[in-house]
Structure 1
C-alpha cells in the first residue's frame, strides 16, 4: 500500500511573517516607502536560513491588514515598482516628541527609565525619525491655545536642532498695549519642560557658554538659517544643563495664600509667566495695574518681587504688607 505523502508545510512561515512586518514598521512611512526588493534586501541582511519572495510578502501584508480590519500597511504602484509603507502610527510625531521631553524633564523617573521611554517611543516610528527623539539634556512648554501653530513651530525647531542649524524667530510676549515682537537669531540647544511651562533653550548671542530660555508658546514665525552650522560638544551641553538645573523658581516652603500685587505694564509678561494666563489685571492708571492671586508666600517669592526693582509691589492685605516689611528689615536693614 502506497504511503500518503505529507504536504511540505513551511515551518518558518511564522518567523518570516514577523520579520517582514517588523521591517516595514521600522523602516517605512508615507515619505519613505519600501519596494519589494528593498524589503527582501533588509530581510536577507538578517542572515536567516530561508528565502522570501514577492507573493509571500504580499500575502503577509494582506493577513496583517485583514486582522486589523484596516489598511494599516498601505500599498501603491508607481511605474513598475510596488511600494509599501506603515501608516498607522498611534501618535503624531510632535506629540510623541513632547512625551519624551516631558519624561526627560521630570525628576521622578530614573535615567534608565527615561532611556526606556525614549527607546519605546523611537520604536513606534521608522528609523528616519529616531534622531528627533535624541536627548542630550534632562528635559521641553505646555501646549498653547492654538495647537496647530504650536506644533508647526515645534517641528521646525526640532529639525533645526537635528541638523545643527540656527533659527530666526519672533518672540512675542503678552502685553497690555500693542507691541511688536522682537526678532531673534540664535542656535537652539534643546526644548524642555520646567515650572509647568514649555521652553526653548538657546545659546546666548554674546557668550557661547551662556544659555537663554524662551517660552515656546511666545515663539512665532520660526525659520531655519540654512547656511549656518552649530555643533555643541558634550562638555557644552552638560554646562548648559547645569545652568538650567540651577534656575530658581518660586516654589518651596510656605502656605498658599491670597495676595494683591500692583505692577508696571512693562512686567506684564513676567506676571503671566508666574501666575498663568488667567490673571485679570485691574487698571489703576497708565503706569499701574493690580491683580489678586494665590501663591506660596515665602522668602523666594519675596526675593522674586525685589528682583524687579519696584516694578512689582505688595498692596494688600495689610498683614501681607507687614510680613514683607519684616522680611526686608531682617534681611537688608
Structure 2
C-alpha cells in the first residue's frame, strides 16, 4: 500500500509541476481548475486542490532555493506561473536566429535546436521561435559524423594534446588523396556563418590556421604530445581571429554566371552551397549559375581570388563590376 501511495504522490507531483511549467508564464498564469482540466486531459483521474498545489510548488522552489514558480491571488482565484530562471525569452530567440543564420548546421539540426529551445518555455511563447524565411544552404549532411569528430577535438583541447586529421575539402578530382596533418588545436569558433577549428601554426607557433570543421575528418589524439600556449601566443591568435571579418552591404538577389578554376571549387561551395552544378568548359575552367546578393561585398569576394573567379554572363553584370573597380580602385589610385 505504501509503495502505491508513494507512486501516486510522485505522479501527482510530477504532473502538477510539469503542467505549470509547460502551460504558464508571467503573462499567462494558470488556475487550480485549469491545472485540474489538464490533468484529466492527460488521462489521470486524481483530484487536486490549492493546498496540494501550494505544497508541491513550495517543495519545488525550496529545491532550487529560489522562487521559480510564482503564485498570487486575484479575486477568488489563486494563480501560478513558471518563470524561467536560466534564459530570457528574447535571449533564446536570438540564439535560435544565430543557429538558423549559420550555413553549417543541417536543417534537421536547426529544427532540433528550435524544438529544444521551445520546450524550455510555455506553450504560449513557442510561436516566437517560428521561422518564416527558408534561407538554408545545403552543405553538411551527416551531422553525427561531424559531432564525433568535434568530440575528439574538444577532448584534445581539454587534455592539452595535439590532434592528427585529414582535411577533405570538396574537389572535382575523384579519389583525391588527403595528407595527414598534425597540429595543436586552440579552439573552435563561428565566423562568416561557418564553424572553424583553429590550430597553432607548425612553422610559426605565434600564428593560427583556420580549418572548416565539416572538412576535418578522421581526427585522432596524439597521446604522447603536450600543448601549451603562452600569453603572447594567445594574443596573436586573438588578433588573427579578429581579422576573420565579414562585410555586409546593400544589394539585391540576382542570378549570375561565374567562371572559376578547379582549385577554388571548395570556395564556391562555401559561398553558394553544395547544390551548385558546375559545367566543364575545359580542363582549367568551369562555369556555374548561382543566385546571390550582388553588392560591393560580393565584388570584393571575387577580387580576393585574383582572377580565379570571374563574371561570365551578361554585359550588365560585367559593366557593374567594372564600375565598382573604377570607383573603388582605379580612380581612387589615380587620385592618390
TM-score by length of 1: 0.54
Pair 254,243 (structure 1): closer, same or farther in 2 beyond 3 Å? farther
Over 3 Å counting, the alpha-carbon distance change for 1:156 and 1:167 in structure 2 is same
Deviation at 1:155, TM superposition (A): 0.9
Pair 1:172-2:168 in alignment: yes
- How much has 1:319 moved relative to structure 2? 0.8
* Deviation for aligned residue 1:256: 2.5
Pick aligned residue for 1:189 from 186, 192, 197: 186
The corresponding residue for 2:320 is 323
Aligned pairs (5 A) from 1:185-224: 185-224=182-221
Query: Could you tell me whether the CA contact under 8 Å between 1:166 and 1:225 is conserved in 2?
Result: yes
Matches of 1:327 and 1:308 in 2, distance apart? 16
CA contact (8 A) 2:251 2:295 kept: yes
Match of 1:292 in 2: 289
1:60-139 equivalences under 5 Å are none
Report the Cα offset of residue 238 of structure 1: 4.1
The alpha-carbon distance between structure 1 residues 248 and 332, as it changes in their structure 2 partners (threshold 3 A), is farther
Name the structure 1 match of 2:280.
Answer: 283
Does the aligned pair in 2 maintain the 1:170–1:219 contact within 8 Å?
A: yes
Corresponding position: 1:267 with 2:269 = no
Cα distance, 1:158–1:170 mapped onto 2, change above 3 Å: same
Shift of residue 143 of structure 1?
8.6
Q: Secondary structure at the match of 2:291?
A: strand
Distance in 1 of aligned mates of 2:323 and 2:205? 41
Contact 1:250 1:301 in 2 (8 A): no
Counterpart check, 1:145 vs 2:128: no
Q: Distance in 1 between matches of 2:211 and 2:249?
A: 23
- CA gap 1:197/1:286 in 2 versus in 1, 3 angstroms: same
Query: Matched residues in 2 for 1:255 and 1:238: separation?
Result: 39
CA contact (8 A) 2:185 2:197 kept: yes
Q: Which residue of 1 aligns with 2:150?
A: 154
Give structure 2 stretches of 5+ with no counterpart: 1-94, 103-137, 332-336
Taking the aligned partners of 1:275 and 1:259, their CA distance within structure 2 comes to 12
Aligned residues, how many?
A: 200
Contact 2:191 2:245 in 1 (8 A): no
Using the alignment, how far apart are the partners of 2:293 and 2:207 within structure 1? 30
Q: Following the alignment from structure 1 to structure 2, what is the Cα–Cα distance between the partners of residues 317 and 170?
A: 40
Give how far 1:194 is off: 2.0
Helix, strand or coil at the partner of 2:305: coil
Aligned to 2:253: 256
- Contact conserved, 1:160 with 1:188, CA < 8 A, in 2? yes
**Post-superposition shift, 1:246?**
2.3
CA distance in 1, matches of 2:307, 2:139: 32
Change over 3 Å in CA distance of 1:193–1:243 after alignment to 2: same
- In structure 2, what is the equivalent of residue 93 of structure 1? none
Q: Any stretches of 5+ residues in structure 1 without a counterpart?
A: 1-98, 107-141
- Report the CA distance between 1:144 and its aligned residue: 2.7
Hey, what does 1:62 align to over in structure 2? none
Q: Does the alignment pair 1:240 with 2:246?
A: no
Q: What whole-Å deviation, never above 9, does each CA across 1:87-118 have from its counterpart, x for those lacking one?
A: xxxxxxxxxxxx9xx78x99xxxxxxxxxxxx
SS at the partner of 1:249? coil
